[in-house]
Structures are given as C-alpha cells and as structure tokens.
Amino acid sequence: MNTAGIDVAHKTLALAISTEEKLGKVREFANTPSGHAALIKVLQSAQVERVCLEATGSYHLDLALAIDAAGVPLMVLNPKAAKRFAEALLTRHKSDAVDAGVLGPFAQRMPFEPWQRPGAEALELRACVRRLEALVADRTRAKNQRHALRQSTTTPAVVLEDVRLSIRQYADQIEALRDWAAGRIAADAALAEVHGRLTSTPGIAAASAIGLMGERLVLPEDRRAKPWVALAGLDPRQSTSGTSVNKKPHLSKAGNGHLRKALFMPALSAARHEPHVNNYYRHLIEVRGLKKIQAVCAVMRKLLHAIHAMLKHRQAFDGRRFCLLREVAP
C-alpha cells in the first residue's frame, strides 16, 4: 500500500510517498492552488491510497479540501499524535522533510480515520468565530493597557486617547462580525434551528451560541458524544504506574482549544444560575473535593454531552438530564 505524508508550512508543502519497503524522496510544492494541483497529480500518478497531514491552523485547510475533492482518502492528524509517533520511531531530527517522512508510515501502521469535509457555511462561520475570538482578546489587552496607563501621572492624554480609539475600533469590528454571523444563521433554516436549541440552554447567550456553532459545526455529524469530548481535549487523562505513581486525573487538552474556550463562559454561567447544573457543580466541590476550576471543567465536559444529545435528538435543554436535584449541604 502506497501512503503519503505531507508537512504543511506557510509557503511550502513537503511530500514524502512511502511504500511498505521504503520511503521515497521528499518533494516540495508551493502552498498555493497551483501547488496543490501539482501535488495531487503526483499522488494520483503514484497511486497513493492514503494521505496523512497535520492540522496546522488554517494553512492545511485549502490543501485538505483539494485532496478531498480529488477523491484521495485523507486523514488530518492531531499534531500531538504525530509528535508521539515520531518519538516512538526514535526520530532524532526535526525538519519538514523528516516530519513528512513520519506521516506516511503513520498512515500505514495506525488506524485510518478519514477526514470529513465540513460544509461551506460551517467553514465560513468558523473563520468568523475565530476572528471574533482574536478581536475580543485584543480588546481585553487594550483595556488592560489603558488601566495600567491611567495609573501613571506621566501618561500623556494623546496616548490615552489613542488607546480609547483602539478599544472603540475593536468594539465596532466585533459588533460588525457578530451581526454578519447572526444574519448568516438567520438566513439558513438548519443553522437557525441549531442556534435556537443552543440558546435554549441556560448560560448560552446569542454570542456564545455563535462561538459554539463555529467550532461544533465542523465536527463529524456521526460521532458519538465521547469522541466530541476527546476532540475538545476535555477527556480526563490518568497517570498511574505500579504502586508508587497514582496521580489525580487531569484534562488531556489534546484537542480543539477554541472549542474549550467557547464552552468556558457558558459552563461558568450555567453553574451559577441553572439549578441542576449548580447542584452538580456544588456536589463536585463539596462532596468530591474538586477545586472550582476543576469543577467548571467537569461542567464543560457534561455540557458538551448535553449539547450533543440536544442536537442529535432535536430537543431543548433539560436540566433533569444534566443532574438530578439533590440536597447539598450549604
């Protein structure tokens, strides 16, 4: 079986085609539409049956779409999985050629999970949501900077005014993008239904629902709840060995950090204001002895389970399914 590994960079693509006997010479292509076409032609000429590449921000997306359109089976790999596989092979060097050479054998030896192409609307919404996330972070940074500048009597008024204008500009950009996203959702019946079910959940307001939709809609529809949790990096990781190592479980965080960030504020709000979620949150702290941040993360995980069930069965949020009300010591 011929397989191919592709290391994706900003400007270049390193391609290594592997057979069961040997690793082929690494070839380089431009990360442009014409480069994608040339690379796919090589894959088809070599009768490659599986292609493996790492998820690298937005740089791999157009290539993945082009490969999928060409009908070549593709797996988009979590970078941590590629790193661990390279370590298992005792790889001593790190370069684009070496990374591409590792991904081909990964496709040969490991279970192959075909990449599922998200819809165009989902990709557009995710791009908008991630831009919103960056703008909100920039606005928060500017507000913190303004607070620090105000503490000094040496800060000139022109600097404070400049920071104020930056904050105002960020606010206008955020509002414009949220209006655009809301308009796209309202114009699509399926998206509007998802948005309505999300906002029926205590803790999830309109802005939070847009953020969750941007990350959730690109996830495969046929996945169960547990793989969703793993894709979000909210699955617990245990560390035990023999009788001397028995660490407390912690989140793997080996997944989509954007989805975890989108879940945080809704989980925190629901833990405060929704009776069933609040009961579960208090039980984790008062009975199981978790720290507050650990309890919030547990609520995030369970909230993602609830969202999965709501969208799968097309039902509104039911707090009784989240957690039964029990008496918890005040």
What's the average model confidence in pLDDT over 257-267? 91
CATH number at residue 49: 3.30.420.40
Distance CA 137, CA 25 (A): 43
Convert 184-196 into a string of H (helix), E (strand) and C (coil): HHHHCHHHHHHHH
Q: Is residue 149 part of a domain?
A: yes
- 3-class DSSP state for residue 76? strand
Q: Could you tell me which residues are beta bridge partners of residue 29?
A: 13
- 3-class DSSP state for residue 323? coil
Helices 257-273, 292-313: axis angle to 10 degrees equals: 100
Percent of residues, the chain, with pLDDT higher than 90? 49
Q: Is residue 330 part of a domain?
A: no
pLDDT at 116 over 90: no
Q: Is residue 115 part of a domain?
A: no
For residues 154 and 241, membership in a common domain is answered with no
Task: Give pLDDT tens digits for 106-115.
Answer: 888 888 888 8
Alpha-carbon Rg for the chain, nearest whole angstrom, is 23
pLDDT at 143 over 50: yes
Task: Give pLDDT tens digits for 50-61.
Answer: 999 988 777 888
What's the average model confidence in pLDDT over 95-99? 80
Q: Is residue 53 part of a domain?
A: yes
225 or 57: which leads in pLDDT: 225
- Domain residues for the domain of 203 are 120-216
For residues 104 and 23, membership in a common domain is answered with yes
For residues 237 and 294, membership in a common domain is answered with yes
pLDDT at 329 over 50: no
For residues 98 and 146, membership in a common domain is answered with no
Final residue before a domain boundary, out of 216, 234, 256: 216
- Give the rounded distance of the alpha carbon of 45 from its chain centre: 34
For residues 93 and 23, membership in a common domain is answered with yes
pLDDT at 328 over 60: no
pLDDT at 325 over 60: no
| C-alpha separations of 245 from 199, 238, 291 in Å | 43, 10, 21
Strands (E), the chain: 3-8, 12-18, 27-30, 50-54, 74-77, 236-241, 245-251
For residues 93 and 191, membership in a common domain is answered with no
What confidence score (pLDDT) does residue 93 get? 78
For residues 306 and 278, membership in a common domain is answered with yes
For residues 292 and 196, membership in a common domain is answered with no
Distance CA 201, CA 278 (A): 14
Contact at 8 Å (CB) between 258 and 133? Answer: yes
What confidence score (pLDDT) does residue 324 get? 62
Final residue before a domain boundary, out of 90, 109, 128: 109
Sign of CA dihedral 185, 186, 187, 193: positive
Q: Is residue 137 part of a domain?
A: yes
Q: Is residue 285 part of a domain?
A: yes
Residue 9's CB is within 10 A of a number of other CB atoms, namely: 14
pTM of the model: 0.78
Phi-psi region of 314 (alpha: psi -120 to 50; beta: other; left: phi over 0): left
Final residue before a domain boundary, out of 80, 109, 138: 109
- 3-class DSSP state for residue 237? strand
For residues 197 and 258, membership in a common domain is answered with no
What confidence score (pLDDT) does residue 175 get? 96
Domain count, the chain: 3
Q: Is residue 142 part of a domain?
A: yes
Q: Is residue 47 part of a domain?
A: yes
What confidence score (pLDDT) does residue 138 get? 97
For residues 177 and 134, membership in a common domain is answered with yes
pLDDT at 154 over 90: yes
For residues 230 and 296, membership in a common domain is answered with yes
For residues 142 and 191, membership in a common domain is answered with yes
Enumerate long-range contacts of 232-237, CB under 8 Å, 24 or more apart: 232/256, 232/259, 232/260, 232/263, 232/301, 232/304, 233/257, 233/260, 234/260, 234/263, 234/297, 234/300, 234/301, 234/304, 235/301
